[in-house]
Structure 1
Amino acid sequence: MRKLILSALMAATVIPGVAAAQSYGELRRDRQDIREERRDVREAQRRGDWRRVEGERRDLRDARREYREDLRDARRDVRRDRRDWGDRDRRWGRNDWRTYRSSNRALYSRGNWRAPFRYNTFRPGVRIAPNYYGQRYWINDPWRYRLPPARANARWVRHYNDVILVDYRRGIVLDVIRNFYW
């Protein structure tokens, strides 16, 4: 019984992420269905079978209606996400995270984080090795921590308790925030 409850809880936490990915896949399949239905209508017109043409047109209308419904659902999901993360798009100051961190301490306490290399204090303008800013160290949701948005070809990277903005094409440190995490 315990395994059943645990598996149901795990499935409930995974379902929202799957639903978003599923809606985009549905849209792609619906567009493909519309193309196939158009092809069937043209084929029926070429053969001159008008009963079949009407049936294929009906199928085309149904495919278009299904596409519009899925598109409406996907747009609604995007609007809901934007509403939830609404202040993500505003202009950020460099220290906007400080007041937010004091009221959301659990978000910034990610436990002891260790890398396969030792700690270094980096300064802006220094070139660092690629193993310090590899993809596994990228912060994929900087707006969640109220970090300023990274410019093109730059990513926020975690280095122990510090956060570093790195130009990942050249390996140059652009900004450093020390003791970002607790």
Structure 2
Amino acid sequence: MRNLVIMAVAAGLVLPTAASAQQRSPAEQAAWNARLESREAYAAQQRRDDRRDDRREAREDRREDRREEWRDDRRDARQDRRDDRREWRRDQREDRRDWREDRRDDRRDYRQARRDYRDWRAYRQAERNAFRRGAYYAPRGLAYRPVRVGARLNSNLFWGSRYWVDPYDYYLPQPRYGYQRYIRYGNDVLLIDTRNGRVLVVYDRFFW
């Protein structure tokens, strides 16, 4: 709009002067031409300023667009992180719920098995392969000899961890005290007092 105004003013000055140009003296004509050149230079400068302003506005618009994109990207990234944390917490809850359900199932199965197998004899009759433990190897320098309740094993090597028997695995009665332990002794299972090696219970030919 400013350019149009400037051009209209310049045209208004030029048209009337064209008729009277022949009536001016050389000095007046030179002054008049200088005024026209000044106005034209001013109009050209205004046009350059307008183009600079347009370019500046375009750069500012591009910068603002980039800032908006950057803010949008950051907002999207934060939302993605929140979604990931929410999914992770949901997965954790589901894993804990599955674990609890598995524990309940295991306990239920164990209780059912305890009802089905009242003791180790019923369990061995139903699950014979569970009682196949392979060859027995006595501790180095020692040998298996049948024992009875009240006897004492002459070395604590007989009840090392390699000979332990878990009562849960074979439906054996739980030991009453923490120092009592089931061990494999040949194909027998003994409940012993680990403080002195005294034999408390003997299950003959427990393993096949």
Coarse TM-score class (shorter-chain normalised): 0.5 to 0.7
Q: 1:83 aligns with which of 93, 96, 108?
A: 108
CA-to-aligned-CA distance 1:76-135 (integer Å, 9 cap, x gap): 121222233224667x97xx2223323332222333322233112233333432101111
In structure 2, relative to structure 1, the CA distance for the partners of 1:149 and 1:87 (3 Å cut) is farther
Please tell me the root mean square deviation across aligned C-alpha atoms, in Å: 3.4
| Equivalent pair of 2:149/2:201 in contact (CA under 8 Å) | yes
In structure 2, C-alpha distance between the alignment counterparts of 1:75 and 1:168, rounded to whole Å: 35
* Alignment-derived partner of residue 114 in structure 1: 137
Which structure has the larger Rg?
A: 2
* Alignment-derived partner of residue 175 in structure 2: 150
Q: Secondary structure of 2:133's partner? A: coil
| Equivalent pair of 1:153/1:169 in contact (CA under 8 Å) | yes
In structure 1, C-alpha distance between the alignment counterparts of 2:165 and 2:113, rounded to whole Å: 15
User: Matches of residues 47-126 of structure 1 in structure 2 within 5 Å?
Assistant: 64-87=89-112, 96-116=119-139, 117-126=142-151
User: Among the aligned pairs, what percent are the same residue?
Assistant: 44
AA aligned opposite 2:187: N
CA-to-aligned-CA distance 1:127-167 (integer Å, 9 cap, x gap): 43210111110013x23322212232322110111100123
Q: 2:186 aligns with which of 154, 160, 177?
A: 160
With structure 2 as the length reference, what TM-score do the two structures score? 0.49
Q: Secondary structure of 2:129's partner? A: helix
AA aligned opposite 2:99: A
AA aligned opposite 1:132: F
Greater length-normalized contact order (CA 8 Å, ≥ 6 residues apart) = 1
**Counterpart check, 1:131 vs 2:154:** no
User: How far off is 1:181 after superposition?
Assistant: 1.4
Moved more, 131-140 or 61-70: 61-70
AA aligned opposite 2:193: D
Unaligned runs of 5+ in 2: 1-78
Structure with bigger helix share is: 2
In structure 1, C-alpha distance between the alignment counterparts of 2:94 and 2:101, rounded to whole Å: 11
**Counterpart check, 1:178 vs 2:204:** yes
| Equivalent pair of 2:188/2:203 in contact (CA under 8 Å) | yes
AA aligned opposite 1:167: D
Unaligned runs of 5+ in 1: 1-53
In structure 2, relative to structure 1, the CA distance for the partners of 1:169 and 1:77 (3 Å cut) is farther
AA aligned opposite 1:108: F
In structure 2, relative to structure 1, the CA distance for the partners of 1:106 and 1:62 (3 Å cut) is closer
